Amino acid sequence: MLPTPLKDKLKELGVKRTPHILVISISKQTLTLYKRGRKVKVYPASTAEKGAGQMENSYQTPLGLHRIAEKIGEDAPLGAMFKSREFTGDIWKPDSDLAKEKQDSDLILTRILWLQGIEQGFNCGTDEEENVIDSYDRYIYIHGTNHEDDIGVPKSHGCIRLRNHAVEQLFDHVDEGDLVWIEE
């Protein structure tokens, strides 16, 4: 069953449920896939090392209701490296020379689900002081990572990291426009 705060937010905003809904729990470091309101799969995840927050350049994971604005990387190979949402042609493999060379980098791998906040003034647009809080403009993604050993621990720079096989699987089950709820 979907979390009560999510159901309350949908009602408050007058937003209809989508066939698939993703629920990201920062406290549990999980991403749960729901289909028609029923839990289908729970994936271990990694959210921001600096916790939850809405502000641009905070390196925090934004809270609230989002949509999958764009799906990027369909048909890309497992471990495909992306820069500015474009496949670079490089493929990351755990024991490769490239992996050793890039071990300190926070790579975006395999697939990208680009999130767009839909709560104006909270995770969309600007706040009352005109600070940018827009998740889309902050480039908040659900993506694969070269730090798979850190999944389950808050270590990202704001995005939601999944293991590469997990993000590949998830990508095939969701659509652009599907809802995403990020909670403490």
Q: Domain 4-183: what homologous superfamily? A: L,D-transpeptidase catalytic domain-like (2.40.440.10)
Per-residue exposure over 17-45, b if at least 16 CB sit within 10 Å of its own CB, e if not: ebebbbbbbbebbebbbbeeeeeeeebbb
80 has a pLDDT exceeding 80: yes
What mean pLDDT do residues 112-131 have?
96
Residue range 126-163, pLDDT digits in tens = 999 999 999 999 999 999 999 999 999 999 999 999 99
Question: What are the extents of the domains in the chain?
Answer: 4-183
110 has a pLDDT exceeding 80: yes
Residue range 13-36, pLDDT digits in tens = 999 999 999 999 999 999 999 999
What mean pLDDT do residues 70-99 have?
92
99 has a pLDDT exceeding 80: no
pTM of the model: 0.95
Residue range 45-64, pLDDT digits in tens = 999 999 999 999 999 999 99
Per-residue exposure over 134-152, b if at least 16 CB sit within 10 Å of its own CB, e if not: bbbebbbbbbbbbbbeebe
DSSP-assigned beta bridge partners for residue 35: 20, 38
Q: Is 101 exposed, middle or buried (0-12, 13-18, 19+ CB in 10 A)?
A: exposed
Instruction: Provide the pLDDT for residue 9.
Output: 97
